[in-house]
Amino acid sequence: MSTPCNSLNAQFIKVSQLGSYPASGSAIKDADKLMIIENTGGSYFSRNSSLSDLRKYILGSGTSGFPTLGSTKSYYTGTDALTLNNYVLGNLSLTFAHGFASVPSIVRTVLLCISGDGYYNINDEIDVSGCYNENSRPFCSVSSNSTNVRVLIPSFTYIKTYTWNGGTNGLVNLSSGAWSIKVYAWK
CA–CA separation, 106 vs 25, rounded Å? 33
Side-chain half-sphere CA neighbours of 153 within 13 A = 24
Q: Does 94 lie in the same domain as 37? A: no
Q: For residue range 126-162, list pLDDT tens digits in order.
A: 999 999 999 889 989 999 999 999 999 998 888 999 8
What's 97's DSSP letter?
A: E
Q: For residue range 17-73, list pLDDT tens digits in order.
A: 555 555 555 566 666 776 666 666 666 666 677 766 666 665 555 444 444 434 456
Give the structural domain span for 53.
Answer: 15-60
Q: Does 142 lie in the same domain as 95? A: yes
What's 136's DSSP letter?
A: S
Q: For residue range 24-33, list pLDDT tens digits in order.
A: 555 666 667 7
Q: Flag whether 43 is in a domain.
A: yes
| Residues 6 or more apart whose Cβ sits within 8 Å of residue 2 | 46, 47
Q: What's the domain count of the chain? A: 2
